[in-house]
Chain A
């Protein structure tokens, strides 16, 4: 797993208080990890801070799963 994926996973575990084993790439923040809408906003803000990237509102809306977040951040970092 990439360094970014590791860090994303860690933030999700920390923020949502879920077990690490549940944070699979396919896991949906809302459906599988028990996040509410405010949690998803807070997660996006935490990602922005941790990776020094800016995630605009329309991109943030599309981040539904752990993989979505990892992919988006990897793409930003590669650019």
Chain B
């Protein structure tokens, strides 16, 4: 089950902790990968640790042109068409709306919502023609529940969930599935710096009593990318330890 042998995948944001875990899991199932991200050294390091079947294609997704070009570049590196697109890249610019700067809003929208749109659009051309493909968007629990101080991020992630559902309806007849994962709080560099009090409070709100590991999300990606998930589309998969059950 869940073999990705012979499949190709592009993972954006692969220079981050979650992206790296996703890449590792897809690779482990046999997929040939293109790793994209902004930090080239981190990408090269990850590629080296994975060994065979890995290509690196750095891109800055705050640029529309770079986002538009990425799928084409990835397919050129692979020398074959793209089967699986994982839109994982994202950034946060947290703050209360009343104090939020225009660029904090627009930067999050550009990278977290517009670039996935551009990547989907580019990847679909080939997927539709070949009558198959997997698009997996990585949103966030806050796109479902909202979160004070993250209006821009939660709006972008909620937008991603809406886009996923619409796109799933548009391309379902061609065997292309489009799904979105909404991860809860994951143990990463970002959450490691939380003060103890806040951390305790956070853990108290998670029925499964722990923060998520990047691997918890990566396993969900593998499932959605697999042949076995061929009847699943337009779904928001909440992988959050039970913190929210929408």
Contacts and interface: CB of A to CB of B under 8 A. Distances in A.
Co-assembled chains A and B: yes
B170 A42 contact: no
B174 A38 contact: yes
Interface string B111-134: 000000000000001001100000
Nearest to A46: B129
A36 interface: yes
B129 A38 contact: no
- Closest A-B pairs by Cβ, 7 of them: A42-B128, A38-B173, A36-B173, A38-B170, A38-B174, A45-B125, A38-B171
Contacts of B129: 42
B173 to A, nearest CB: 7
B36 to A, nearest CB: 25
Given A38-B128, A38-B170, 7 more contacts: A36-B173, A38-B171, A38-B173, A38-B174, A42-B128, A42-B129, A45-B125
Interface in B146-180: 170-171, 173-174
Contacts of A45: 125
Interface in A23-59: 36, 38, 42, 45
A6 B128 CA distance: 24
Interface residues of A, number: 4
A63 to B, nearest CB: 18
A42 B130 CA distance: 12
Nearest to B128: A42
A53 to B, nearest CB: 17
A42 to B, nearest CB: 6
A50 B170 CA distance: 24
9 contacts: A36-B173, A38-B128, A38-B170, A38-B171, A38-B173, A38-B174, A42-B128, A42-B129, A45-B125
Nearest to A45: B125
A42 B125 CA distance: 8
A37 to B, nearest CB: 9
Contacts of B174: 38
Contacts of A38: 128, 170-171, 173-174
Interface in B72-129: 125, 128-129
Nearest to B125: A45
A45 B170 CA distance: 16
B188 to A, nearest CB: 38
Nearest to A15: B129
A36 B174 CA distance: 11
Nearest to A41: B128
A67 B129 CA distance: 24
A33 to B, nearest CB: 16
Contacts of B125: 45
Contacts of A36: 173
Nearest to B170: A38
A42 B174 CA distance: 11
A71 to B, nearest CB: 25
A38 B170 CA distance: 8
A55 B189 CA distance: 47
